[in-house]
Chain A
Amino acid sequence: MASASETMTAAGPQGAGMRERAWYPYLLIAPSMITLVVVSLAPFIYAIYLSFHEAKFGRVRDFVGFDNYMTLLTDERFWNSIGVATTFVFIAVPIEFMLGLIGALVLNQNVRGRSILIPLLFMPTMMAPIVVGLLWKIMLAGSWGFFSYNVLERFNILGETSIFASPDLALYALIFVDIWQWTPFMMLAFFAGLQALPLGPYRAAAVDGANPVQMFFHITLPMMTPLLAVIGLLRFIDAFKVFDTIYILTNGGPGISTETPSILANKMTFEFWNIGEASALAVLVWIAFFAFCSIFYQVAKKRLNAF
């Protein structure tokens, strides 16, 4: 941050006709940067400050150094939550990705009535996550849920238990809900990508006698890669943070089998009021994400020409 604003040596304009004063780009980014420093950096620095204090009950007491971090890192529950979120992300996102890609390819065929179908298909993504949670509660809740009653109970699939009451199944149900909610987003973004592809290479390939599978792997996929990377990263970040639907559907239960870091942080914050530890959790998650994303960014930028 600081190094950027120090010296503004001639940042050369790209084109010959665009002779700029060096401060011009900084002027353009200034409002955004100032806003983000206020709304994003300031709360985050405050969170870092809190994470080094015993901030029980929202009242900051003593400086405790790395105590909160140590407590957290030695807490099985924290590692459990990381495990839960990792499982969640690494099952949900690839499935959404595949389904989205397949859906986009289908949608890219000679489908009629797209202008009606597209907004309809997009509906799950447009719904508020809290409503999505309630919707699936109506579907899957034990004994009174529509699906539980008409399918699971009728054919006695789960016997004496229900989906969200089963420590083994609850997480997969949540993954399913996430897939339901976000596949349309993937599908639409990929479809948009397919629509934007130039026709030239396909014509050339057709002349060479390439079949559709070859065309997909040699033309479509390479050209789509940057988009796939960007969307994948975006979903990855958001899936790791998912909160509303889990909060409504299981709130981390049964036991701690669906407790993600967000749910745990919510408990630490609003039930236990252990703000110091919750902030430490936030900082750790943030650092992990940031490290992951900067690596991803560097790689994607060089190899895929994404971003």
Chain B
Amino acid sequence: MADAASRPEGSRGLFWTTLVIVYAAIMLFPIFWMASMMVKPNDAMFARPTQWLFVPTLDHFSYVIEQGFHWSLLTSFVLCTVSTALVVIIGTPAAYAFARFEMKGKDDLFLFILGSRMAPPVCLVIPFYLIYARVGLLDSFLGLTLAYMTFNLSFYVWVLRSFCRDLPVELEEAAALEGWSKVQIFRRVVFPLLRNGIVATSVLCFIFAWNEFLFAFMLGGKAVTTLPVSIPKLITSQGVRWGEMAVVGMTALIPVLAVVFVLQRHIVRGLTLGAVKG
């Protein structure tokens, strides 16, 4: 604080900081409220008048574990990691190619990629279901991994292309003159420069996949149940199990929050989506 006060803009900084904190407090209140429901006993949940103080309980956690929700967490985690990794492996060279090379019909190809993201998922899910039912991909890991590529691969290629375009071509040329192979150039020159972009874009892809509901619901099943799909199981005839729902909802948030927290430097740089010329 002493350091801040010594500079002329120090008090200003305090003002802006307070402003952001107040804004965050208001915006995040609903989330805080939901988080408090994780340990709220059922009879205090929607008590009238609202109960602010209560004796915390761990009942909701034990129910969630009893019902095996941690398996859904694991499923979600593996599924989203694999699907995102595949997107990065397949998508990075494509994004690079779109940015670097002249190709015939490049614009058309690129619009095709954009177009893949446009159809409302509700409308694609039935064709998917009917095709999957025929080839036996329903309720399978592979099936969902593939389905997630519909929206993630196109997004990834689209965004990463902008990053690739900003890479200084001179470096690659210099490396080529040194006699490096293409693979070497890609690994040692292109990839390090692209890291922020890849991290930011793939984190977004991961979040999209992590939160996806409709595909996971219709194409998944007993064997592959992701975390969002497990939530409606808490709508029971004893009413909605709000406490448990809060537990699952907040649990779903934690891994993503952790990833964003750890990788935020890359993400903040990468969220420019390569569209700002720095």
Residues of A within 8 A of B (CB): 1, 3-4, 6-9, 11-18, 20, 24-26, 28-29, 31-33, 35-36, 38-44, 46-47, 50, 58, 103, 106-107, 109-113, 115, 117-131, 134-136, 138-139, 144, 146, 149-150, 180, 184, 188-189, 191-193, 195-198, 223-224, 226-227, 229-231, 237, 240-241, 243-244, 261-262, 265-266, 269, 275, 278-279, 281-282, 285-286, 289-290, 293-294, 297, 306-307
Contact = CB atoms under 8 A, between A and B. Distances in A.
A32 B111 CA distance: 14
Contact of A29 (B4, B13, B94, B231): B94
B81 interface: no
A110 B213 CA distance: 39
Contacts of A40: 116, 149-150, 154
- Give the residue among A40, A150, A243, A293 with the most B Cβ atoms within 10 A: A40
Given A112-B4, A120-B28, A138-B34, A289 B150 contact: no
A17 B231 contact: no
Nearest to A110: B13
B192 interface: no
Contacts of A285: 119-120, 123
A262 B132 CA distance: 22
25 contacts: A3-B105, A4-B106, A14-B101, A14-B169, A16-B173, A28-B94, A31-B93, A32-B94, A35-B146, A36-B154, A44-B124, A47-B124, A119-B260, A120-B24, A122-B260, A128-B211, A135-B31, A138-B37, A188-B267, A189-B273, A192-B272, A193-B271, A226-B277, A244-B214, A282-B119
A36 to B, nearest CB: 5
A40 B108 CA distance: 16
B13 A281 contact: no
Contacts of B118: 237, 286, 289-290, 293
Q: What 4 pairs between A and B have smallest CB-CB spacing?
A: A282-B123, A110-B13, A4-B105, A28-B97
Interface in B135-182: 146-147, 149-150, 153-154, 157, 161-162, 169-170, 172-174, 176-177, 182
A243 B122 contact: yes
Interface of B: 4, 9-10, 12-14, 16-17, 19-21, 23-24, 27-28, 30-31, 33-34, 37, 46, 48, 50, 90-91, 93-94, 96-98, 100-106, 108-109, 111-128, 130-131, 146-147, 149-150, 153-154, 157, 161-162, 169-170, 172-174, 176-177, 182, 207, 210-211, 213-214, 227-228, 231, 242, 245, 249, 252-253, 256-257, 260-261, 264, 267-273, 275-278
Nearest to B152: A39
Question: Max chain B CB contacts within 10 Å: which of A1, A4, A139, A224?
Answer: A4
B123 A36 contact: no
